[in-house]
Amino acid sequence: MHNHAHSDVEQRPLGESCEQLDSFEGLPILIEKAKVAMGITTHAKAFSNDLLRVEPSGPDRPHLTIVDLPGLIHSETKQQSAMDVQLVLDVVQSYMKEPRNIILAVVFAKNDFANQIVLKLARDADPSGKRTLGIITKPDTLAAGSESETMFVSFAKNQDVEFRLGWHVLKNMDMDKGQWTLKQRDAEENEFFSRKDTERFAKSLVGIDNLRMRLDKVLLSQIATELPSLIREIEIKTDHCRTRLRRLGEPRITVDEQNLYLLNINQSLQE
């Protein structure tokens, strides 16, 4: 999907780009095609404010939209310019500030907490923490009994950095081990969290299956909270559209109706 700042000429090829897949297996190839359409290359433009929208459909699919935003860049490099840094920051903040969006603030267990600015941005956008859920990834990089492990366990328990929605822990794919299917990814995660050295993390706060259930509850609560104001907004906009339609007068669909309308204008001017 195009960004509205583009001209009509720039918007057209992006807006018309649409493909259908029968499974997730072809998704990596589709993403590469989208990068070309957005003008993203390894040696030039690294980021875009255009959006790749993937819509899984089926009888068991939840009515949920997840926006995977680019990782925040702390400083410019040879590959990432100051413009890239600002572009990523602007895109992330634009989604975070929307009051109806749930923020999934992802932090990496192998990185120093103080260097992970996503938590500050989440606090700025959601000071009360009522719509923020913290996600801890790469727990397999924590040494058992270490200070870092103790710190991230306190996060998971919502004791250190507190969010109204709490925290969750995931072990995602290790890309150094090659391509994994989603089934392999889930099996590896289940095996990891069944180990004795991960018992410090509460079982209800780990794993993708538990996260899905938590997000279902969060989504239901969000709908219940926001639906009344959303209905009111729809009513206001509907009334506005009806007012504009009334000002346009009766519809002039046929050529005869259009000619009659012009004839009436001509007569009123002559009078």
Whether 34 is covered by a domain: the verdict is: yes
Number of domains in the chain: 2
Residues 103 and 211 in one domain: yes
pLDDT at 45: 66
Whether 114 is covered by a domain: the verdict is: yes
Residues 132 and 47 in one domain: no
Residues 97 and 203 in one domain: yes
Residues 32 and 118 in one domain: no
pLDDT at 21: 79
Whether 244 is covered by a domain: the verdict is: no
Whether 7 is covered by a domain: the verdict is: no
Residue of higher predicted confidence among 51 and 136: 136
pTM, 2 dp = 0.72
Whether 241 is covered by a domain: the verdict is: no
pLDDT at 17: 66
- Long-range CB pairs of 150-157, under 8 A, 24+ apart, other chains included: 151/113, 152/109, 152/113, 153/200, 153/201, 155/107, 155/113, 156/201, 156/202, 156/205, 156/206, 157/202, 157/205
Max mean pLDDT among 18-32, 101-115, 125-139 falls in 125-139
Whether 208 is covered by a domain: the verdict is: yes
* Percentage of the residues of the chain whose pLDDT score is greater than 70: 88
Residues 88 and 19 in one domain: no
- Give the tens place of pLDDT for each residue, 44-96: 666 777 777 788 887 877 677 778 787 777 767 766 778 878 888 888 999 99
Kindly indicate the confidence band of residue 43, based on its pLDDT and cuts at 50, 70 and 90. Answer: low
Residue 88 sits in a domain of what CATH number?
3.40.50.300
Residues 98 and 209 in one domain: yes
Kindly indicate the confidence band of residue 2, based on its pLDDT and cuts at 50, 70 and 90. Answer: very low
Query: With 90 as the cut, is the pLDDT of residue 131 above it?
Result: yes
Residues 39 and 78 in one domain: no
Q: Is 72 helix (H, G, I), strand (E, B) or coil?
A: coil
Average pLDDT of the segment spanning 189-204: 89
Residues 123 and 74 in one domain: yes
Query: With 80 as the cut, is the pLDDT of residue 4 above it?
Result: no
Domain containing 203 equals: 66-226
- Give the tens place of pLDDT for each residue, 144-195: 888 888 889 998 999 888 999 999 999 988 777 777 788 888 999 999 999 8
Helix (H) or strand (E) holding 221: helix 208-248
Whether 236 is covered by a domain: the verdict is: no
What is the CA angle 171-177-182, rounded to 5?
A: 50
Whether 61 is covered by a domain: the verdict is: no
